[in-house]
A = this chain, B = another copy of it.
Amino acid sequence: MLTAKPVAIVFDTFGTVVDWRRSLIADLTAYGAKRGITGDWVGLVDAWRAAYRPSMDRVRHGELPWTKLDDLHRMSLDHLVVQLGFQGLTADDLVHINLGWHRLKPWPDAIPGLTRLKSRFIIGPLSNGNVSLLLNMAKAACIPWDMIFGSDLFFHFKPDPETYLGVARMLDLSPSQVMLAAAHNDDLAAARACGLMTAFFPRPSEYGPLQARDYVAEMPWDYVAKDIEDLATQLGV
């Protein structure tokens, strides 16, 4: 029996579409060299990402009012540069470093795969990033989204159901007509609990030496692919 096809496919973005770790390390290391700022850039990137989910949980659990991801990133960054002993960072440096998340680069299969999928499906990011972050990233990297579902459209972060269901509502689709594609099993589980279709492909080097999970599909997701190009092939485009 053939698996049904969705009308719209929304993509988790950090890790799934863009290689945040390698992008940020390269970007910040080059910036540090240009500015003459020495420091543990790799350690900063890993610690910054480790602070990502706890910072969103402060919003999700009501400890902070709605705060967009750029601002959570900045709060974490301000703390980490002190903790890691970075010296000589100006206010402009901190703004530039924080906007590093707007400059992330796609995995090699992402643009060709998304371009193929766009010919038949509505495609967009469904990310905890804010619209400006995702839009600046898309403009810089030529990611051909139809619509950008930033978390600031919903005033909720994933895995809150308001995000997955918000996409369906905004597109006038039933949840079962929308598919989440992600390299993270927990994101897919939350989407499936809301009635969305699901597609998994692994990004085994996302966290570099710190990768500890998401090497394989942990549930029978609707589609399991090698990458976005393979997903396009499985979906017949």
For the complex, what is the distance from the CA of A171 to the CA of B131, rounded to whole Å? 7
Top 9 nearest A-B pairs by Cβ distance?
A132-B172, A131-B170, A147-B148, A132-B171, A135-B147, A135-B146, A153-B153, A122-B135, A122-B139
Q: B-contacting residues of A (Cβ < 8 Å)?
A: 70, 122, 130-132, 135, 138-139, 145-148, 150, 152-153, 170-172
Cα A130 to Cα B148 in complex, Å, equals 14
Across the interface, which residues of B come within 8 angstroms of A145, CB to CB? 146
Least CB separation from A8: chain B residue: B135
Tell me the smallest distance from the CB of A168 to a CB of chain B, in Å. Answer: 10
For A139, the chain B residues whose CB sits under 8 A away are 122, 146
The listed residue (B122, B135, B153) touching A171 by CB distance below 8 A is B135
Chain B contacts of A147 at CB under 8 A? 131, 135, 147-148
Q: Find the B residue at minimum CB distance from A131.
A: B170
Measured CB to CB, the nearest residue on chain B to A144 is: B144
Task: Determine the residue in chain B with the shortest Cβ distance to A148.
Answer: B147
How far, in angstroms, from A141 to B145 measured CA to CA in the complex?
A: 15
Nearest CB of chain B from residue A112's CB, rounded to whole Å:
18
23 sample A-B contacts, Cβ–Cβ < 8 Å, listed by A number: A70-B172, A122-B135, A122-B139, A130-B170, A130-B172, A131-B147, A131-B170, A131-B171, A132-B170, A132-B171, A132-B172, A135-B146, A135-B147, A135-B171, A138-B146, A139-B146, A145-B146, A146-B148, A147-B147, A147-B148, A150-B170, A152-B170, A153-B153
New contact pairs (12) apart from A70-B172, A122-B135, CB-CB < 8 Å = A122-B139, A131-B147, A131-B171, A132-B171, A132-B172, A135-B146, A135-B147, A138-B146, A139-B146, A145-B146, A147-B147, A153-B153
Pick the most buried of A122, A135, A171: most chain B CB atoms within 10 A of its CB. Answer: A135
- Write the nearest CB–CB distance from A232 to chain B, whole angstroms: 17
The interface centre, meaning the residue of A145, A146, A152, A153 with most chain B CB atoms within 10 A of its CB, is: A146
Instruction: With both chains docked as a complex, state the minimum distance between the C-beta of A106 and any C-beta of chain B, in angstroms.
Output: 16
Which of chain B's residues have a CB closer than 8 A to the CB of A122? 135, 139
A170 to B151, CA, bound (A): 11
C-alpha gap A152/B149 in the complex (Å): 13
State in angstroms the CA–CA spacing of A28 and B197 once bound together: 35
Most buried by B among A132, A147, A150: A147
